[in-house]
Structure 1
Amino acid sequence: MSAWGLVAMRPGSDGRWHYRRSLASRVIWLTTIAVGLSVALVAVGAYFTARVQMQNTLDDSLLDRANKAAATDTLLEVGARGVPPWALGAADVRIAFVDYKGNPAILDRGPAIELGAPEIEVARGEHSSSLRTLLIAGERYRVVAVPTQQDGIALVIAQPLEDQDRTLSRLGWVTIAFGAFGVIVAALAGWTVASNGLRPVRKLTDSVEHIARTEDFTPLSIEGDDEVARLATAFNHMLVALDASRVRQRQLVADASHELRTPLTALRTNVDLLTMTARQPDGLRNLPPDAREELLDDVQAQIEELTTLIGDLTSLARDEPMPIQVEPVDLADVVDHAIQRVRRRAPSLEFEVFTRPWWVIGEAAELERAVTNLLDNAAKWSPEAGHVTVRLSDGVLTVDDQGPGINEADRPRIFDRFWRSPDARTLPGSGLGLAIVRQVAERHSGSVHATANASGGARMVLRLPGREKNDA
């Protein structure tokens, strides 16, 4: 990396090393190029404007002097004796005549002037004047030709461009120096902008790197309301979400460890008892059949409880949003399938079902699991030969049981993970069924809550957005 940390050389995807410019170096280069180009364009424009203006001024002056001299009646007589250069307003001008045949008459002893078609055409009267630049003896001259009072003869005046070229040369060097100075100032301005303007970005970067190293999710301090402040605000929201996710993860692990401890301890005790009995001579034969059957049933029940608990934990640990593979689902069909499953597990209960079509965009398997959990909860609390009422209308699913009901103080907590009322701790279950219902409802933009029905039992109300007809 360079002294200013502007350029770094890192390996690319092809294994070769490439230069990577930092944001500060890009700001400096862009500022330098933008301002430098602006200064250069202004300087070049000023130079060419001055050049054109000087050329136009010189041409107007030459034409004016030539026309005044050509209007003199005695010009040719005076020209025969020689016209002093100061008579035309300049000491270094060259004066000549040319007739319509192209015969020149130079009035001084200087180098010959190569007159051509433009001057001859003026002498013939084809043009009112001519103006061009000639090279005479290695020196640039501005040559003007105008007709005289005598037909067929044109007056030619040539003025050297040495003074003008010298002035333009100086102006050109001044322009180059001014452009170079502008580029240097632009580079300094870019460095200043990169140093001061990107200071909040560097500060934010240092804070983010500190969080990545220490996993300290303390929100960043925000100053102002510019783009950097908005970026810091968005990052703070991400920190809050990450911290909440970490807390939920730790809580889930802690709760899962607590819930798994009881069935694992009971299962280990029963397995140890079976192992000790099997190792004794004729131990299993001496074990009463009723005790052996009860022990095996306990092992099987505990394995099923562990299997259910692990499945619920796996489902509940999915904290991602609704998957893309969704489809229109008729909630009435979902309720019918869930009723059939629960009836096989609780054959002594009577289910009164009333449903109307209600189409929901979502996952059929997730919705069926949520509805099944609601029905299982009602079946668990209903008395033997009890009655469970299930109604679905306009996206509202209500499940009523004939159990003891839920205390009003406990209703907000029954959908929390692993929470069970004191009366429910002696009953089978993982404490995750209703938590899964709430998660599925929220994933489908719905809600679920508990209340009491007319008979004093519990009523679970699940609301899901949708429509009566399938528009797909």
Structure 2
Amino acid sequence: MTDTQTQRERPRRGVVETVHQRMHQWTLRVSLAARVATLTTTAVALTLSSVSAGVYVVVRAELVDNLDASIRVRAEQAVAAGYTPGSLNEQDADLLDVAGMEIYRVEGDRVLATLTGSTKVQLTETEVAVSLGQQTSSARTAIVDGDAYRVVAVQAGPASALVMVQRMDSVQHTLDRLGLVLAITTLAGMAVAGAAGWAVASNGLRPVRRLTRAAEHVARTQELQPIEVVGRDELARLTTSFNQMLMALDASQAQQRRLVADAGHELRTPLTSLRTNVELLTQASTAGRPLTDDQSTEVMVDIRAQVEELTSLIGDLVELARDEPLHHDPEPLDLSEVVEHAINRVQLRAPSLTFATTLEPWWVVGEPRALERAVTNLLDNAAKWSPAEGTVEVSLQDGVVTVRDHGPGIAEADLPHVFERFYRSREARTLPGSGLGLSIVRRAAERHGGTVEVESEPGSGATFRMTVPGSNPSAPHTPVSEPSQ
């Protein structure tokens, strides 16, 4: 592109950008209903204008063609009757002149005579071409003193043409009335389209305004009240989705409140015990009656146990409160190795137990730390309820991690709640723990696209099964699908 072309294009781009900016500002200021009504009116106006213009052009062409045909027929009849400049008397010429008609006879390239004696319309080369035999006939429109005339020429013999000229008043009058009717129709259509567009937009956007008011009410009052669903269209689906979002948000808030309340309740016991022991040490020191070595050791062991319980509880709370998706870069891993590492960790904490294992390779794509913690929590739970010198059966087959203990089992009333946060059965309340371990297991399984379930009968132990999608490859690098995040 040359410099001159570039300079010419710059003003055009500037005008286009200015128009776009003004249109954008207008859309920001005007309501959606007004925009819909405006667009509807504009679309109807363009459609009606196009149709009206087409109708006008077609009717005009048809009227002109009919007028030409009529004039041509009369001219041919005049030629057949042998009209000559002297064949018309003065009265006939006056009548033709009053009717707005003129008759010329052209010989060769010149006007031989005007039969009516009128010379308003000047003949051109078009009529001369007909007289010379170059064309069989011709038709054109001539404007004289603001009046339109139709000029039609036909051959009238060798090197001769007869030209008839007629005013187009009737045609123009018809076209004027047609143009007026079309203009009124277009304006009326635009008005009806604008009113209809405004009515449709106002009624159609009523659910949107209800959603807007509901969202503003939620933002202002924090009250998550669903709104009424009307109809079955897309707006009704939008309202249903909005209500579902409100219910999910309400459930999340309720869950957060319950988490805070349960966490406060669980933290109160170890903190109270820890404060009691610290006050005991402080009073013994200030009263001048120090504790014996055995008493001091007992108090310190108790304090250490309470600190460990607090540490474990806070860690579990942080794990559950994060509520974040699976790690953005999960890695392929052998779940059997994760289970084996977890068994080694729990074995150190429960040396008197025997862990009978049956592990098969099972490759998954996931987060090793989350999976190992889930398996560790299952094993810790089994170790807590297993009798002394007992056996915990651990297996991994087809992606199902099964942990079975031989403890007292779980009561039927407690089975539906074992994976809930802070839920502890009546028997478990006397044992250490926060009631969060199995919740973490369920959370880890769901984050990896799996499930966890439990079966138990009182007196025969409990069996936990955690399923993680993956594959059992013949080679360690066989690809496996990533879990949903």
TM-score over 0.5 for the pair: yes
How has the CA–CA distance of structure 1 residues 260 and 455 changed in structure 2, closer, same or farther, with 3 Å as cutoff? Answer: closer
The SS at the match of 2:81 is: coil
Note the alpha carbon deviations across 1:72-111, whole angstroms, 9 max, x for none. Answer: 23x2264476682488798220111111132442233433
- Give 2:455's aligned amino acid: T
* 1:72 equivalent in alignment to 2:45: no
Q: How does 1:3-402 map to 2 (within 5 A)?
A: 19-73=28-82, 75-76=83-84, 78-79=86-87, 84-85=92-93, 91-111=99-119, 113-149=121-157, 151-281=158-288, 286-402=290-406
Deviation of 1:30 after TM superposition, in Å, equals 1.6
> C-alpha separation between the residues in 1 aligned to 2:44 and 2:27?
28
> C-alpha separation between the residues in 2 aligned to 1:101 and 1:184?
57
Does the 8 Å CA contact 1:102/1:116 hold for their aligned counterparts? Answer: no
> C-alpha separation between the residues in 1 aligned to 2:177 and 2:189?
18
Note the alpha carbon deviations across 1:424-455, whole angstroms, 9 max, x for none. Answer: 22222111111211222233332223334999
Does the 8 Å CA contact 1:99/1:152 hold for their aligned counterparts? Answer: yes
How has the CA–CA distance of structure 1 residues 70 and 108 changed in structure 2, closer, same or farther, with 3 Å as cutoff? Answer: same
Note the alpha carbon deviations across 1:157-187, whole angstroms, 9 max, x for none. Answer: 1112234333323432333233222222222
TM-score when scaled to structure 2? Answer: 0.85
Quick check: 403-412 or 218-227, which moved more?
A: 403-412
Quick check: 115-124 or 169-178, which moved more?
A: 169-178
* Large movers: runs of 4+ above 6 Å: 86-90
Deviation of 1:25 after TM superposition, in Å, equals 0.9
Note the alpha carbon deviations across 1:281-308, whole angstroms, 9 max, x for none. Answer: 5x5xx42111112211211211111011
The SS at the match of 2:271 is: helix
1:460 maps to 464
- Give 1:67's aligned amino acid: E
The SS at the match of 1:127 is: coil
Deviation of 1:65 after TM superposition, in Å, equals 0.5
Note the alpha carbon deviations across 1:106-159, whole angstroms, 9 max, x for none. Answer: 23343354322221221122211111122345533211111214x222111111
> C-alpha separation between the residues in 1 aligned to 2:458 and 2:276?
45
> C-alpha separation between the residues in 2 aligned to 1:449 and 1:199?
47
The SS at the match of 2:365 is: strand
Does the 8 Å CA contact 2:355/2:392 hold for their aligned counterparts? Answer: yes
Gaps of 5+ in 2: 1-20, 481-485
> C-alpha separation between the residues in 2 aligned to 1:294 and 1:369?
31
Deviation of 1:344 after TM superposition, in Å, equals 2.2
Q: How does 1:430-469 map to 2 (within 5 A)?
A: 430-452=434-456, 456-469=460-473
Quick check: 269-278 or 366-375, which moved more?
A: 269-278
How has the CA–CA distance of structure 1 residues 79 and 364 changed in structure 2, closer, same or farther, with 3 Å as cutoff? Answer: farther
> C-alpha separation between the residues in 2 aligned to 1:154 and 1:17?
64
TM-score when scaled to structure 1? Answer: 0.88
Aligned length: 453
How has the CA–CA distance of structure 1 residues 135 and 403 changed in structure 2, closer, same or farther, with 3 Å as cutoff? Answer: closer
- Give 1:327's aligned amino acid: E
> C-alpha separation between the residues in 2 aligned to 1:221 and 1:432?
38
Percent of pairs with identical residues? 50
> C-alpha separation between the residues in 2 aligned to 1:137 and 1:384?
124
1:421 maps to 425
Deviation of 1:378 after TM superposition, in Å, equals 1.8
Note the alpha carbon deviations across 1:23-71, whole angstroms, 9 max, x for none. Answer: 2112211221122222222222222222111111111111111111011
The SS at the match of 1:354 is: strand
1:471 maps to 479
Note the alpha carbon deviations across 1:288-339, whole angstroms, 9 max, x for none. Answer: 1111122112112111110110110111223344454333332101101111
> C-alpha separation between the residues in 2 aligned to 1:312 and 1:183?
67
- Give 2:284's aligned amino acid: T
Superposition CA RMSD, Å: 2.7
Quick check: 57-66 or 289-298, which moved more?
A: 289-298
> C-alpha separation between the residues in 1 aligned to 2:459 and 2:287?
56
Quick check: 386-395 or 319-328, which moved more?
A: 319-328
The SS at the match of 1:425 is: helix
How has the CA–CA distance of structure 1 residues 112 and 254 changed in structure 2, closer, same or farther, with 3 Å as cutoff? Answer: closer
- Give 2:265's aligned amino acid: H
How has the CA–CA distance of structure 1 residues 62 and 363 changed in structure 2, closer, same or farther, with 3 Å as cutoff? Answer: same
Does the 8 Å CA contact 2:139/2:150 hold for their aligned counterparts? Answer: yes
- Give 1:359's aligned amino acid: W
> C-alpha separation between the residues in 1 aligned to 2:260 and 2:218?
24
